[in-house]
Structure 1
């Protein structure tokens, strides 16, 4: 007589078995999610280990759960930390609720992609409701696909196990993310929730949103600083709650990074002048060219009596096609396109959003065609986002519109083969990120939209590509005929529609002059930068990865002035080990050929927390436990990083920089630790050790610090806020946190003077180094290295070559006596204008 309480689980993949306690993830290795087996796969399709129902399918496609005939819930999870891929490389072959047979293919996955981007390919098969079942291992060696691995028998405790699975936990948190819970923070919460079995919802203003849905979370309209309630239900509800509270309360490192200079605050004004349309600058620049229209899709009429089964299949196929296309676009992004990658990842998440899919499928079930159902679902969510009164959320509706158009094209079989005139100004009601990816293959001079916003994803991409872009021009823009000659002056927020031949010729000369200047700067970027009187100024780059370092080298960087090592530590469940760190740092050195690399030790803590490094909440996080202070509290973390840095080669090109140093004893203690670790490793050649000057105390102690440091690098972003007692992220004070304040200049001068007494050099790696107005000031104060964003290297080097260092010294001394940052900036503008008009006169300025 058959035993209905007992089932056999067969190998879902081929490959050697790995002891569960050796899986490189504490959640699996500790048995937290249940007992079972692990396999290091050699094939790329996951198969069903038994017959059952698909009761859980990760929206990112990397995991699913089957419920077998005896009630056992079999969790199959491909790889370790694969949720971070956000669905890239995974193709589910089944859907939630499907009944599957033993050995049926479940998920196809890209082994190379997972291996390159994740911790491990090791795949686990666990009984997630294990307390109700007994396990017997049948095979412990290399697994062949389909071979019997486990016998699973119900023990009679399933009622208790099911009761345990309905545990719940709830708690409150205050939103720390800038702008509230818009797309990226919502995606972070979604990703965090997907790491647990429990269902999680967020409550705000008497409404709830499932954390599996980006549009539902954004639709709550939660602002920065708002208090929300988190509710988790399931076997790991307490752990899920704590992780989600941390995700809500902790803004990411990138949110606290130095922000780019704000765009001119130009508001559209009435179009009173004939032949002129006003808008808002989304990306600066000047362009001219013929108008080219880019229109969206129009749906054919719908009878309303369609076969739901056929329409469901049509939508599934279209979604799969678009998902594949986005995945392909992501794979082929060039280096340095992190913003574009993040936007594509958000689009992949929205394609699987349950709120969108549920709405669309509900309409399909009532006989509506797939295209109309999908359009209705998108339009509904767009209206929700636009009605919240939050400009940031309103602009995220553009991402939904983008997906609407892409899926409709897939449904209707339309392919986009654009025929644009050369140097076209592309005009649309509202362009989308996928439009820009398509336009990147064409000769486009500029972009102009009737709607849109200056902080939209399209604006981000346009700025990254150097395309002038104007938004919020109004519907009159769409009445202009194709081919109309246009002058797009995004700097001034205007579009000229009736330019004379004389005006067009004048703009063409200006555009050509700008292009030639840029080309000359780039052509000379690989050469060193010396002032006219022979002083060498190194122009380096600020980067956060080996890929960015390679791009900086191509742009002409003399070295890396700041590698933010946090890129290795964030967005992961555990800290990188010594081997991983050494490999990552070596990759950056290798990418820079023979040029030096400054690597800053980890700068987290305070307002930049890590999931695996719990620290107490602080009332004033930027004044709290961060930078080198964290290394003092957790010496094993800093020692591991120092050991990794001591093992890169050659040591002569590696420079170690310590953040947030405030006293000499801190530096002396770290140098002693570095020497001790070097002796333990048998390292004779030592990397230089420097100090990041970002606290007024360090600038005031520069002469004493220079006795023990090999170099200084000034972080003007933090130095500004600490000196001026103004939070640089405070919206109301942002314009006043100016590193050209006379008090900051005095601290920079003091740092350079202290360093010179011990023959040490000083660099600047803060945002001030990238400000062309500040270049003569910093050179005059004694700075020897400027570390800037990679695209600015050619421009800053060209500017250095136009300067006379002795004139800069006289000029900068005069600035120290001015009364405000505004007065300093005006003096710098006058100096720059005079230098441009009459170089000889500039040398005499301030004599």
Structure 2
């Protein structure tokens, strides 16, 4: 047995397909100088084809999963469009008479090495994006006639040294049973996509995975425990086959819950809503039984473009999302960029610590023109259904008061212009900074609701970069400090007569659902594919028993103790 990092739950059993690197490596070439014009054409054709492939994948992921996941590919497209990246390859061919594959290989490794040398973990992660793009280009040079992807005809488990986002997206969904990789962690882009697609996955299994696994080996992947069994004995195989069958039966049962409320056995009603990034995602989340949108990531309207969206463009997107949800609530988060989300046209400064820098509400309150334009668009769209506004990264009461003041200014302008909007539109804030948790009573007096963003709350509370795979074992929303902050926030909101939701990764974890339910969380917002499992957890227990679970979990000392306890329920 090989152990790795569990990143996407579930059991997958099938024969191994070991991802071959031969088509993405620079092939042997003659020692003679290259034909410059011929190699420049190969490079140009490779860039064109790679761009077309990534655009198709981007569209596919946007439609099938969501805009947040599709945004992972934006960095890949940006490299292909960067003159310094492709331009350097062209220079290598012209000046050194290199073959196209050699030029791509050299520039790819040069750029990757630069990124890997940087202190900022987000920028270091870009090395993987550079290599993904470079390998795609080499594949298209080596095989210009057609799709070089493996011809998958039978169910399989993908085994690889490292799995890229494009590898994950390109896998045939009806045949892939699981993904395992020697490298990577729970916060890698491939892991995020595997979870969104519902593919069991284990990353970071180490080099022994590759030495012990060959094409055709029978492999069992337990994405819940991180166990990988290669050519298992009959007893182990039979045990996991029964577990996989139970999971399939559970999924069939979960489908039947779609139109039922998220309600405990003793009658406590919970709002179960979805996170989206584009208005066209509303159809998919309604199909999964979502009761609304708990997080519309408005920043995706600002990304993957060369200039700010206009008020009319924003208005159309918000209106379509609100109308698409047919009267169900839509919480629109105002612009949340900075940190790991950069807008080149916004002249954002290079910062030593971008996650602690000029981002989210700080940008909006500095750029009043930009902020008021977004508020106008949201308020105008609120006339078409049930909209709520949420401000991100609040740490000071003064920030809320300034934001509320600007909302009132915009409302007055719209009244004077005779433009309809919801006069009583609710205003809320993201709770994602420990300081906000500690002054939650004061913040609750200013707003109509809270939404806890656990992704940032965990990293700020534990001083652990959530994108640093080396620290992945320290990043846990089950840490007692995080749990106590969450409890403080929920209690403060209820004392002040408002409600609290959660829109971070923790809200999508079925293991965490009984704990959060018992802590008094009012709303769970997660990706659409996670909704059925979370609903099932809520419906199977009483609120009274969940409160006992929360009491017991909050008395524990370590994240592992909390997880072990929850898994035993």
Fold match (TM-score > 0.5): yes
Mapped contact 2:156–2:175 kept (Cα < 8 A): yes
Distance in 2 (alpha carbons) for counterparts of 1:673 and 1:300: 60
Partner of 1:329: 56
Given that 1:652 and 1:688 are in contact with CA atoms closer than 8 Å, whether structure 2 keeps it comes out as: no
The answer (yes or no) to whether the contact 1:426–1:448 under 8 Å persists in 2 is yes
Which secondary structure state, in structure 2, belongs to the residue aligned with residue 536 of structure 1?
Answer: coil
Task: Quote the residue 2:503 is aligned against.
Answer: 765
Q: Per-residue deviation at 1:538? A: 0.8
Q: 1:474 to 1:386 in 2, by over 3 A?
A: farther
**Corresponding position: 1:685 with 2:443:** no
Please give the alpha-carbon distance, in whole angstroms, between the structure 1 residues aligned to 2:546 and 2:60: 42
1:397-546 equivalence runs, <5 A: 397=131, 399-410=133-144, 413=145, 419-426=151-158, 439-440=171-172, 443-447=175-179, 462=194, 464-465=196-197, 466=199, 468=201, 472-473=207-208, 476=211, 480=214, 483-489=216-222, 496-546=229-279
Query: Once the 2 structures are TM-superposed, how far is the Cα of residue 644 of structure 1 from its aligned partner?
Result: 1.9
Quick one: structure 1 residues 301 and 758, their matched pair in 2 at CA, closer, same or farther if it must change by over 3 Å?
A: closer
Answer yes or no: is 1:639 the counterpart of 2:372. Answer: yes
The answer to whether residue 524 in structure 2 is matched with residue 786 in structure 1 is: yes
Give, in angstroms, the shift of residue 800 of structure 1: 0.7
Aligned to 1:801: 539
**8 A contact 2:10–2:244 mirrored in 1:** no
Q: Is the 8 A contact 1:340 1:461 kept in 2?
A: no
Deviations 1:312-366 (CA, angstroms, capped at 9, x unpaired): 4873685377347526634752422515633652674589723434445668x69
Q: 1:314 to 1:789 in 2, by over 3 A?
A: closer
* 1:560 paired residue among 293, 312, 316: 293
Alignment of 1:63-78 (within 5 A): none
Partner SS state of residue 598, structure 1: strand
Cα deviation code 1:381-426 (max 9, x no counterpart): 577679888796478545433432332111xx46658654521235
Question: What is the aligned partner in structure 2 of residue 591 from structure 1?
Answer: 324
Structure 1 contact 738–821 (Cα < 8 Å) conserved = no
Larger RCO: 1 or 2 (CA < 8 Å, sep 6+): 2
How many residue pairs were aligned?
A: 543
Query: How far does residue 805 in structure 1 lie from its aligned partner after superposition?
Result: 0.6
TM normalised by structure 1 equals 0.54
Pairing 1:632-671 to 2, within 5 Å after superposition? 632-650=365-383, 653-661=386-394, 667=400, 670-671=403-404
Q: Say whether the 8 Å CA contact 1:330–1:344 is kept in structure 2.
A: no
In terms of fraction of residues, the more helix-rich structure is 2
CA shift in 2, pair 1:424/1:750, >3 Å: closer
SS at match of 2:550: helix
- Residue in 1 that maps onto 2:11: 286
Question: Contact conserved, 1:282 with 1:459, CA < 8 A, in 2?
Answer: yes
Q: What do the CA deviations read for 1:684-743 (whole angstroms, capped 9, x no partner)?
A: 632122233445665565556555533232334555566x47365595877656555555
Look up the match of 1:712: 450
Distance 1:427 1:721, change over 3 A: closer
1:556 counterpart SS class: coil
Query: Is 1:341 matched up with 2:66?
Result: no
1:543·1:563 contact (CA, 8 Å) conserved in 2?
yes
Distance (whole Å) between structure 2 residues aligned to residue 310 and residue 576 of structure 1:
40
**How far apart in 2 are the matches of 1:820 and 1:396?**
41
1:123-134 matches, cutoff 5 A: none
**8 Å contact kept, 1:279–1:473:** no
Please tell me whether the aligned partners of residues 402 and 434 of structure 1 are also in contact (alpha carbons under 8 angstroms): no
Give the distance between the partners of 1:607 and 1:331, measured in 2 at CA.
Answer: 19
Q: In the alignment, does 2:565 pair up with 1:830?
A: yes
Provide the TM-score with structure 2 as the length reference: 0.76
Structure 1's unaligned 5+ residue stretches are: 1-275, 367-372, 836-847
726-735 or 512-521, larger mean C-alpha shift: 726-735
**Aligned-pair CA distance for 1:570:** 4.9
* Alpha-carbon spacing, 1:537–1:753, altered in 2? closer, same or farther (3 Å): same
Native 8 Å contact 2:201 2:221 kept in 1:
yes
- Aligned residues of 1:312 and 1:361 also touching (Cα < 8 A): no
Give the whole-Å Cα distance in 2 for the aligned partners of 1:278 and 1:641.
48
